[in-house]
Amino acid sequence: MKFPIAPILLALCLTGVAPATLHAAEAPVAAEAYSERHLALARELVDLVNPRGAADMQLRILAEEMRGNPQTANYADLFRDWVANTAQTEALANDIARMYAEHFSPDELKDILRFYKTDTGRKVIAAMPVLAEKSIRLGEAWAIRQAPSLVEKIRERQREEAARAAERMAVPPPGTSSF
């Protein structure tokens, strides 16, 4: 039985645990370009936002989907445990902090932190896991609704390609010259 890895990789990417991140020890985000204060601010943001909440929600969704799929049901617990033990590490949080430092200056990080420490900011943080789950569900439903039009476009292209291939392979009728 072939194990469907693509849905798992997609789920990892959606939860923020992209395959490249899982190999963080092999290819860490360069830290030398950022001051200790810059990285400390970024790490404070990581800790405040707590991306684990959103990731945990996505992993629960994935585990449910895996349990419901006959091809993956026997592996759902192994996958959940592997992600919990592999991806949710201090090193990952530090790599995420370096990623934030790459995209935001120290002053911008201070602004973001100030916002997240307000009542509205805390509400945003609390709502993130639920919003992420609902966004994924909406995206899945949208993709399912849109899939028939994509399938039709693919079929149309395949028909066109088949027609062009048939034209290229066409042999002139006997007694005619191609000159």
pLDDT in tens, 126-141: 898 888 889 988 988 9
As a whole number of angstroms, the distance between CA 85 and CA 95 comes to: 16
Please check the confidence at residue 176 and state whether its pLDDT lies above 80: no
- pLDDT tens track for 2-17: 444 445 544 544 444 4
Q: Which residue has the higher pLDDT, 19 or 64?
A: 64
CA 143 to chain centre: 15
Confidence band, pLDDT 50/70/90 cuts, at residue 121: very high
Token pair of 17, please? 């645990």
pLDDT for position 39 = 93
pLDDT for position 49 = 86
pLDDT for position 132 = 83
pLDDT for position 165 = 92
12 burial class (0-12, 13-18, 19+ CB within 10 angstroms)?
buried
pTM: 0.52
User: Measuring CA to CA, how many Å separate 179 from each of 3, 35, 113?
Assistant: 55, 74, 76
pLDDT for position 117 = 94
Sign of torsion, CA 117 131 20 61? positive
pLDDT for position 179 = 57
pLDDT for position 24 = 40
Q: Specify which of 43-52, 62-71, 91-100, 107-116 reaches the highest per-range mean pLDDT.
A: 107-116
Provide the angle, in degrees to the nearest 10, between the axes of the packed helices 51-68 and 76-86.
160
Contact (Cβ atoms closer than 8 angstroms) between residue 95 and residue 24: yes
pLDDT for position 75 = 83
- pLDDT tens track for 29-87: 454 578 999 999 999 998 888 655 556 666 677 777 888 888 888 887 887 777 777 65
